[in-house]
Amino acid sequence: MAKRATIKDVAEAAGVGVATVSRVLSGGSASPQTRERVLAVAAQLDYRPSALGRNLRQRRTGGMGLLVPDLTDTFHAQLAEGVLACARSAGEPVVIGSTGGDPEQESELIGMLLEQSVDRLIAVPSGDEESWAPAIRAGMTVVFADRLPAAPPVEEDPAVSALNDLLLLDGAAPPPARAKPLDVPSVVADDRGGIRTAVRYLRGLGHRRIAFIGGPGHDRRAAAFREAVGEPLDEELIVFGTGSRDSAYAAASGLFQSRPDLTAVVAGGNVLGEAAVLAARELDLRVPRDVSLIMYDDVPWAELCSPPLTVVAQPGRDMGYRAAELVLRSGGRRQRSVVLPTELIVRGSCGPRR
Amino acid sequence: MAKRATIKDVAEAAGVGVATVSRVLSGGSASPQTRERVLAVAAQLDYRPSALGRNLRQRRTGGMGLLVPDLTDTFHAQLAEGVLACARSAGEPVVIGSTGGDPEQESELIGMLLEQSVDRLIAVPSGDEESWAPAIRAGMTVVFADRLPAAPPVEEDPAVSALNDLLLLDGAAPPPARAKPLDVPSVVADDRGGIRTAVRYLRGLGHRRIAFIGGPGHDRRAAAFREAVGEPLDEELIVFGTGSRDSAYAAASGLFQSRPDLTAVVAGGNVLGEAAVLAARELDLRVPRDVSLIMYDDVPWAELCSPPLTVVAQPGRDMGYRAAELVLRSGGRRQRSVVLPTELIVRGSCGPRR
DNA sequence: CTGAAAGCGCTAACAT
DNA sequence: ATGTTAGCGCTTTCAG
């Protein structure tokens, strides 16, 4: 690294103390002449304050961390672009990590960020609330984007269980003592509205046996789907993949084969939509003649499919931007969560029930 | 930020000096007992060495920077995933920036990285060699991925020009004095081979009027295209977009309209392929009946198109991984550049000339 | 308004 | 083998 000028160099060259230079550069008070001289010298020396010194002094790194499951999921890429846009305009660095949807990798990455003293983090979480507790406790300012961590598995405390059994309290068992839920601001899409609109649209076309294919983190969408469909609910029509494209394909293909009677499917994300299109084609199901399809996420290629895909668009880029704003503006006090609207974009992948 | 234990805390608690703790944790020499005690205390205190202190001391930040034009370009996302995978397994942080293909933003981001003392950088460059010189001079270890910076515009030195005119040396003018080319390792695909294979394939199908649609950074591919097509060369069949999806669409659409006689097109990247498919459909050109299409980059949705797209696949993820290895292993000495093979994946978007 | 000085947490000489 | 010490570049009291 070519040696760069330090604040000391500037101070000497300007004939002032380092404190003065620091003040001038961070907008503190200084006489106009001093200020001007310092500025001139700094420019002449091409001085750039080192973030290293500042960070150490302030015991924190500026900027923010960004954790997403997978950048090749175009929606996450859009979200990331939003975060980067905001960070760029703020001149702040972004340390990024891809978790592969694996809570363990996620935790490791959080550890890495902690080590870097990155104390602001935007995350599309993969782990559950429990796995996020340490980060919060460590003092990180976290903002969740796109989804929230799942509630931790209810711990079957053997003693309590036994007691409950004994007292025959099963039916009206008190809610198991669970860790208090995380209080973290978030930026998510209106999944409930988005899914409901999609289901209603399909209903309006005459569809009755509608399926949902989800992936990790799509629990809220699945819940919204259950709610929108109402009774009678056919749980077999709700399937999940584990996050990889392969497993998404397997889920879609399995669904089509086991339930040839379904006439429409809602894919909970673009990777699942991709899988659904592929699986349908492989099984010679024609869209929308044999099966109607609505995909969550509007991605460029949705328009390229034949027929073009009808989608529930969520503003990925905006979500990222807003999340970054939230995490930056968090001047200590609590931030409100934000829910962004979705939009049903009707193209050609849905038709009347045959 | 909850106050974390420092090396001093560990030293005191273990009854040793800070240096010993430092040594133990970085694998230096220490007696087995001491080592054990320190390790125990460190674990007990949940001590994590602060990267801040280390970085300042070593005057450099670990990890690496990563600059790409646009993450929603799936190829760049794949490349980024490769970089992240390598960085993750090395436990190193990655500071990412998205340039939007704009040399100016790129320069600003480089400045930001310099300020952070990030001295290792992987970049899909947007600026030309000239705009990259400062980063190199500042001592950054740079590895270019996917493409190389364009040669700087030849400066028309008036004096030299005049002299040349005077001496009638125009025809055999000596190469203009240009800055010495950057000597930076890189990881790129075998564009020459990839394009040649594509063109030959199309030729074999009988196509004679083949077009090329490129974007920023596709100069090498365009050059390879010219070479592969040979004489007579129809320059009108080579068009460029500026990087945005809109401009890519405009370029494709304009090409199809101005040259209805073309029978095949090679798109220099997935965003351009996207545009080509869209434009063709808009103009009622059927693929492959009316026009054959080969796209650079194998992306998941290539298979979803109807017909599925024949592509020149380049190993985006590997490229990223290799680039990260290169930049990490750069133990001071020069690294060799690497060229990765491409593969023509024949699907259904090419047919015989009608 | 300005300067001197004290560290932030860590590593690398240097001494023991 | 281990402790002591001197900073890395910066911000921030605290005096002047």
What pLDDT, on the 0 to 100 scale, is given for residue A231?
84
What pLDDT, on the 0 to 100 scale, is given for residue B155?
63
Q: Which nucleotide is nearest to B56 (CA to C1')?
A: D8
pLDDT digits (tens, 9 = 90+) for B119-135: 999 999 999 999 999 99
Indicate whether B149 pLDDT > 60: yes
Q: Are B128 and B153 in contact (CB under 8 A)?
A: yes
Is A48's CB within 8 Å of B114's CB? yes
Percent of chain A with pLDDT over 70: 91
Task: Please report which helix (H) or strand (E) contains residue B194, including its range.
Answer: helix B191-204
pLDDT digits (tens, 9 = 90+) for B310-320: 999 999 999 99
Q: Name residue, tokens 């991709």.
A: A274
Percent of chain B with pLDDT over 90: 83
In a domain, B58, yes or no: no
Is A303's CB within 8 Å of B88's CB? no
Q: What is the CATH number of the domain that holds B249?
A: 3.40.50.2300
Q: Which domain holds residue B18?
A: 1-48
Q: Report residue B118 as tokens.
A: 């990030």
In a domain, A164, yes or no: no
Determine the distance between B296 (CA) and D5 (C1') in angstroms: 60
Indicate whether B178 pLDDT > 80: no
Q: What SS3 state is found at B120?
A: strand
Q: Are A242 and A186 in contact (CB under 8 A)?
A: no
In a domain, B125, yes or no: no
Determine the distance between A28 (CA) and D16 (C1') in angstroms: 19
Q: Are B55 and B62 in contact (CB under 8 A)?
A: yes
| A contact residues 124-153, partner B, Cβ 8 Å cutoff | 137-140
Indicate whether B330 pLDDT > 90: no
Bridge partners of A42, per DSSP, are: none
What pLDDT, on the 0 to 100 scale, is given for residue B332?
58
**Rounded CA gap, B309 and B48, in Å?**
50
List the B292-296 sheet strands across, edge first: B238-240, B210-214, B264-267, B292-296, B310-313, B343-345
Is A84's CB within 8 Å of B71's CB? yes
Q: Which range among A187-201, A317-331, B176-190 shows the weakest confidence by mean pLDDT?
A: B176-190
B69: nearest CA in chain A? Answer: A81
Residues on chain A touching B66 (C-beta within 8 angstroms): 96
In a domain, B184, yes or no: no
Bridge partners of B238, per DSSP, are: B212
Q: Name residue, tokens 């782990």.
A: A127
Q: What is the mean pLDDT of residues A266-281?
A: 97
Question: What are the φ/ψ torsions at residue A170 (nearest 5 degrees)?
Answer: -50, -50
Residue of B71, B93, B108 lying closest to A77 (CB–CB): B71
- If you count residue pairs, one on A and one on B, with CB atoms under 8 Å apart, how many are there? 163
Structural domains in chain A (count): 2
Residues on chain A touching B94 (C-beta within 8 angstroms): 95-97
Is A81's CB within 8 Å of B71's CB? yes
Is B77's CB within 8 Å of A78's CB? no
In a domain, B85, yes or no: no
Q: What is the mean pLDDT of residues A307-323?
A: 97
**Rounded CA gap, B193 and A23, in Å?**
57
Q: Closest Cα partner for B146 from B92, B75, B51?
A: B75
Return the C-alpha torsion angle B265, B268, B271, B274, nearest 10: 20
Q: Which nucleotide is nearest to A115 (CA to C1')?
A: C9
- Whether chain B has a CB inside 8 Å of the CB on A339: the answer is no
Q: What is the mean pLDDT of residues B7-35?
A: 91
Indicate whether B65 pLDDT > 90: yes
In a domain, A211, yes or no: yes
In a domain, B32, yes or no: yes
Q: Residue A176 contacts by C-beta under 8 Å, 6 or more apart in sequence?
A: A154, A155, A157, A160
Task: Work out the angle between the directed axes of helices A129-137 and A103-115 (0-180°, nearest 10).
Answer: 0
Determine the distance between B187 (CA) and D15 (C1') in angstroms: 58
Boundary-marking domain end, from B17, B33, B48: B48
Indicate whether A175 pLDDT > 60: no
pLDDT band at B180 (very low <50, low <70, confident <90, very high): low
Buried b (16+ CB within 10 A) or exposed e, B309-339: bbbbbbbbbbbbbbbbbbbbeeeeeebeebe
How many Å is the maximal CA-CA distance in chain B?
85
**Rounded CA gap, A187 and A122, in Å?**
10
In a domain, A326, yes or no: no
